[in-house]
Structure 1
Amino acid sequence: MMIKIFLVEDEIAIRKGIKNSIDWGKEGYEFVGEAGDGELAYPMILKTKPDILITDIKMPFMDGLQLSKLVRKELPATKILILSGYDEFEYAKEAIKLQVAEYLLKPISSAKLLDVLAQVKEVIRQEQEEKELIKKYREDMKENRELEKERFLNQIIAQNLSLAQILETGESLGMDLSAPLYNILLLKITENGGKQETYAEIESALDTLSGVFSFRRGVDEWLFLLTADDAEKMERRIESCRKAVRQITEKTDPPVEYFGALGNPVERLREIKNSLKEAEKKFAFQYFKKWNQILEIPVRDVGSSENPQTEKNENEELLISSVQVDKLNHKIIENFIHTGLRREVSNFVDDYFMSLGEKSVQSLMFRQYVAMDFYLAAVAFLERLGFSSKELVERCGDLKEMEQVIQTIEQTKEYIKKVLDATLECRESVSRKRYSDLLKEAVSYIEHHYEEEDISLNQVAASVNISPSHFSTIFSKEMGETFIEYLTNVRMERAKQLLRSSTMKTAEIAYAVGYKDAHYFSYLFKKVQKCTPREFRTQV
């Protein structure tokens, strides 16, 4: 670690003497600049950002104390050493107020200066280590927090929690979920080099909006829970979200496209599931419609419709009219088979038929054509994956049997849903096999490198040739715990072995399992094991 040094001294002989009497590079320092007074030095210091400033106290134009005040304000991490020919109380008192690292009397030998610099260098090293530790701790906590939020969302949707539990858990995650009105926004953006950075920026922007809470949903999808006091404020909240997403995606380089869908507003937290269901219906239109928009049905006062059936028909007409029918083609089916999710199958097929128009699907011949289009696309895709068409025949029958099972529109839709579900299940089995092999490699890498303090999710993801965000999601989903939780458990198990079988000190064990800071190791050990390392050793 090269420490940058800047020297300010008005007496040229002293300045040159200090500069030339020390082999800075050999001692682990980089001499980045010098000046004869504070006024000349200040802009140079702002540019070079030294770790240590050595300054005389009595200088023309701007003295060392004035310079120190300015540097302390702009570069608070810079350590200041004051040189003075005056052993006066007032100077020393002022220096203490400025929290200077040392107040040294001139003349000073190079040996004495190096001794003081070594002490300051050690302080800087400790501070940097502490800063890195805090950064790593925050990153770990953020990853665990995202998983906690994802689990919390799933519990709300599954209606596994009481209202009191939802509010209490939400509060522990920094969410005030008490509100008269709720809505769901689903969001997805196109793949590009900075996809996850774009998501992070969108999440940050929407999280700063009052009453908007973010949840990760799978690898490349986000869910935002919107709360508001009434329908008018909900409309404003939605518009704020739309504006934030548009502004962020427009300025990205390379550019990205987004697609979003809103649910219907609901009055109870336990009804969020219904809002999500409506959002997912509209979200399936990502395969049909142009992107760079957030689909919604106009927000109305909850329960204000006098005729629910009329409202339903109006909503359906809105969705039908919004689809660009002339762009519906075989590519839409192929795109869904390649990228769609099994949970989206039902909504996708319903929306697909809606887009074809009621008159078209009344024709049995037309329905046969549509069903055959899906069937042949599925067969072609499965063959590319290495499956035989026999897989599809076993689950859905062959083309000869198709006519018998598509006598009505609903039968046709159910048949196509069955074909798609079987196809996506095969696709998922291939992915699971790939992920299984990938995770075995990742786990092996962790087992061989857990003792390295700087092992990170990014490092492990790189070892298996996958993006960190994708790896994080896969790891959490397949392993049932986050990367950090798994790594911590591996380290704690090894630590327990050493506590049982060796006489190593706690600090030595901490270092052996990847922690430089023994206090942090003890904190984590107690968090996982419910006892300190010393107590554990006593028990065994």
Structure 2
Amino acid sequence: MSYSVFLVEDEVVVRESIRDSVPWAGSGFHLAGEAADGEMALPLIQDLKPDILITDIKMPFMDGLELARIVRRNLPWVKIIILSGHDEFSFAREAISLAVTDYLLKPLSAADLLATLRRVAGQIEAENAAREKIENLNRSLATGLQLMAERFLNDLATGLVPPGEALRRAGELGLALTARCYIVASLTPRVRPGGDASSQYAEYLKAVDLIGSLLAANLDVVRFSRSLRELILIFKGEEPGELERHCYAVCHSLKYEVERKTACALTARIGAAREGIQGIAESLAEAETAHRFAYIFGEDSVIGIEDARRVNFRGSQLLKLDPRGLAEGLRRGERADIPALLEGYLARLASEPADSFYRAFAAAELALTAARFVEELGGEADRVLPELGRLAEEARAGEGELRSCISQLLAAAFDFREARKRDKYGDLLLRARAYIDANFADPEISLNAVARQVSVSPSHFSTIFSQEAGRTFIAYLTETRIRRAMELLKTTALRSSEIAYRVGYKDPHYFSYIFKASAGCTPTEFRRRGSEP
């Protein structure tokens, strides 16, 4: 390593002698700059930031001691070597008070200067080594505390820490967990196909770092890793409804930013808001339940426990019997995957005794899996899968007949799954629109009121309505009111203020403003245009 040196000396002969007589090349030092007095030197030193400053004491404008004082204050790591004549020991005492590194008497030889520079370099190296050791110790301590915190949070989230002990241990680890309510979200960044394993892992780490930076200033969220691929967020607050809205908003924002700035997609699974610190484990368990329905709502989506409940999920009734890979294929595959699923299933049959009894048993196993899958989605297996009734008969008839029947059954199951995806919010949206259409004239109608009517949280209802209706709740309500106002303007002689009250606006002036923003003209102008021939 080469250390940079800056020289300040007002005597030209001395300055040039030091500059030209010291063999800088190969010495481990280089002369970064020079100046004739402190005033000229200071801006150069602040710009170059040398490792070592060599300065004379007596100089015009700004002497060496004043320069040393400023450098010590602004650039405390710079080592300072003072040059002085034999009769300047009073200056030497002041230099010592400034904690200069060394003090040399003029005249001096190049060898003496190099020896001093090497001693100073050794001091710099020793300080750097000590600093690095302290930093390593601090990093080790921080890593140890982080590992302890993550272990504690994992235990807490799985219900292994008693409530009375949880807050005490959290305080010892510096974790701010005290709150009335908690809600847990589980995040899984998934790298999109493309690139080698190294670049994919780099993109995953980029997504994780981005999530960390976006949450850094959010004191109401505690984040930890549950596994290499899963991040857990614990949201805390005082009011369940507000906490739930905050959680959904943050998860949607994280999804947007991750998918915009990295090559990853993001899935978020969210439990319900729970009171008490023991509610963290309960909320995480609900988030895990919601994850089982990713195949309905899409792998890369924000899924809440209410979503799972709304599609009639009955986790406790799921059957254990399951053909190898078939259930997973139904959940995550596509219709085009049917030939591969069929071959995989029939390959299993080929590996077992080829008698009609075993084929009938395996066919029953498949029927149960397909029926369970359809009923998970809220369908009636007998209606959706008419092939179920003849599956056992075809199994006894032979492999060819069984192959055809299974293919038709899988196709029907996939078609029903896709239909449920398209229509998963259809009933909810119809009920919401019907309520708005019947109550738009009520000035007190609100998103919260409609959400209550359809049994969905306000934040989740807002997201669902915007996605499915193609406009926000407020935009739809405004369109409904303005459309009715137009009808009244065309068909009645009511004044604008009366029409405003009839369509849900308390303030006629605000109604006129909204009407003009929507229709491009005032209510009076709209009525006049309608009466023109």
Range class of TM-score, shorter chain: 0.5 to 0.7
Letter in 2 for 1:403: A
Q: Is the 8 A contact 2:270 2:304 kept in 1?
A: yes
Letter in 2 for 1:405: E
Mapped to 1, the partners of 2:359 and 2:46 lie a distance apart of: 76
1:54-112 Cα offsets, whole Å, 9 max, x none, are 22334445443444344334433222223234865774465445433224343333333
Is 1:238 the equivalent of 2:261?
A: no
Letter in 2 for 1:231: P
1:175, distance to aligned residue in structure 2 (A): 0.5
Q: Is the 8 A contact 1:202 1:244 kept in 2?
A: no
Letter in 2 for 1:228: G
1:155, distance to aligned residue in structure 2 (A): 2.1
1:481-520 Cα offsets, whole Å, 9 max, x none, are xxxxxxxxxxxxxxxxxxxxxxxxxxxxxxxxxxxxxxxx
**2:51 — aligned with what?**
51
Letter in 2 for 1:227: K
Matches within 5 A, 1:256-405: 256-283=264-291, 294-296=302-304, 316=310, 352=331, 375-376=341-342, 401-405=361-365
1:43, distance to aligned residue in structure 2 (A): 4.3
1:304-352 Cα offsets, whole Å, 9 max, x none, are xxxxxxxx68952599xxxxxxxxxxxxxxxxx8xxxxxxx99x899x4
TM-score (norm 2): 0.54
Larger-Rg structure: 2
**1:213 — aligned with what?**
222
Mapped to 2, the partners of 1:216 and 1:164 lie a distance apart of: 24
**2:71 — aligned with what?**
71
Partner secondary structure for residue 269 of structure 1: coil
Q: Is the 8 A contact 1:405 1:412 kept in 2?
A: no
Partner secondary structure for residue 22 of structure 2: coil
Q: Is the 8 A contact 1:2 1:30 kept in 2?
A: yes
Q: 1:199 to 1:150 in 2, by over 3 A?
A: same
1:275, distance to aligned residue in structure 2 (A): 0.7
Q: Is the 8 A contact 2:3 2:28 kept in 1?
A: yes
Q: Is the 8 A contact 2:203 2:263 kept in 1?
A: no
Letter in 2 for 1:76: P
Matches within 5 A, 1:395-434: 401-408=361-368, 412-413=372-373
Q: 1:250 to 1:135 in 2, by over 3 A?
A: farther
Q: Is the 8 A contact 1:405 1:415 kept in 2?
A: no
**2:212 — aligned with what?**
203
Is 1:107 the equivalent of 2:107?
A: yes
Q: Is the 8 A contact 1:34 1:41 kept in 2?
A: yes
Mapped to 2, the partners of 1:143 and 1:393 lie a distance apart of: 53
**1:28 — aligned with what?**
28
Mapped to 2, the partners of 1:122 and 1:107 lie a distance apart of: 24
1:256, distance to aligned residue in structure 2 (A): 4.3
Between stretches 155-164 and 217-226, larger displacement belongs to 155-164
Mapped to 1, the partners of 2:233 and 2:264 lie a distance apart of: 19
1:284, distance to aligned residue in structure 2 (A): 5.1
Is 1:3 the equivalent of 2:22?
A: no
Letter in 2 for 1:279: A
1:17-57 Cα offsets, whole Å, 9 max, x none, are 11222223433223322233344434443443322122233
Q: Is the 8 A contact 1:5 1:52 kept in 2?
A: yes
Q: Is the 8 A contact 1:177 1:227 kept in 2?
A: yes
Q: 1:82 to 1:155 in 2, by over 3 A?
A: same
Mapped to 2, the partners of 1:286 and 1:393 lie a distance apart of: 33
Letter in 2 for 1:404: A
1:157-214 Cα offsets, whole Å, 9 max, x none, are 3433222332232223211222211121222334443532542353254244223222
Q: 1:313 to 1:59 in 2, by over 3 A?
A: closer
Is 1:223 the equivalent of 2:251?
A: no
Note the aligned Cα RMSD (angstroms).
4.5
Q: Is the 8 A contact 1:406 1:412 kept in 2?
A: no
**1:483 — aligned with what?**
none
Letter in 2 for 1:57: I
1:456-479 Cα offsets, whole Å, 9 max, x none, are xxxxxxxxxxxxxxxxxxxxxxxx
Letter in 2 for 1:258: L
Q: 1:138 to 1:32 in 2, by over 3 A?
A: same
Letter in 2 for 1:21: S
Mapped to 2, the partners of 1:404 and 1:235 lie a distance apart of: 43
Between stretches 56-65 and 22-31, larger displacement belongs to 56-65
TM-score (norm 1): 0.53
Q: Is the 8 A contact 2:83 2:105 kept in 1?
A: yes
Q: Is the 8 A contact 1:51 1:78 kept in 2?
A: yes
**1:182 — aligned with what?**
182
Mapped to 1, the partners of 2:343 and 2:66 lie a distance apart of: 76
Letter in 1 for 2:363: E
Mapped to 1, the partners of 2:247 and 2:107 lie a distance apart of: 68
Q: Is the 8 A contact 2:294 2:303 kept in 1?
A: no
Partner secondary structure for residue 159 of structure 1: coil
Between stretches 19-28 and 79-88, larger displacement belongs to 79-88
- Segments of 5+ residues of structure 1 without an aligned counterpart are 298-311, 320-336, 338-344, 357-368, 381-387, 417-540
Letter in 1 for 2:160: N
Mapped to 1, the partners of 2:171 and 2:296 lie a distance apart of: 39
Letter in 2 for 1:170: A
Mapped to 2, the partners of 1:390 and 1:249 lie a distance apart of: 44
Q: Is the 8 A contact 1:372 1:399 kept in 2?
A: no
Letter in 1 for 2:22: I
Partner secondary structure for residue 196 of structure 1: helix
Mapped to 1, the partners of 2:39 and 2:351 lie a distance apart of: 80
1:219, distance to aligned residue in structure 2 (A): 1.4
Between the two proteins, the alignment pairs up a number of residues equal to: 353
1:6, distance to aligned residue in structure 2 (A): 2.1
Mapped to 1, the partners of 2:81 and 2:360 lie a distance apart of: 89
Q: Is the 8 A contact 1:86 1:105 kept in 2?
A: yes
1:210-248 Cα offsets, whole Å, 9 max, x none, are 232221121122112222222366357537844874686
1:126-183 Cα offsets, whole Å, 9 max, x none, are 1211222233333333443343233223322343322233223222321122221112
Mapped to 2, the partners of 1:64 and 1:251 lie a distance apart of: 56
Partner secondary structure for residue 32 of structure 1: strand
Partner secondary structure for residue 215 of structure 1: strand
Q: 1:282 to 1:69 in 2, by over 3 A?
A: farther
Matches within 5 A, 1:470-489: none
**2:489 — aligned with what?**
none
Mapped to 2, the partners of 1:314 and 1:292 lie a distance apart of: 15
- Segments of 5+ residues of structure 2 without an aligned counterpart are 192-199, 314-324, 377-533
Mapped to 1, the partners of 2:286 and 2:329 lie a distance apart of: 15
**1:120 — aligned with what?**
120
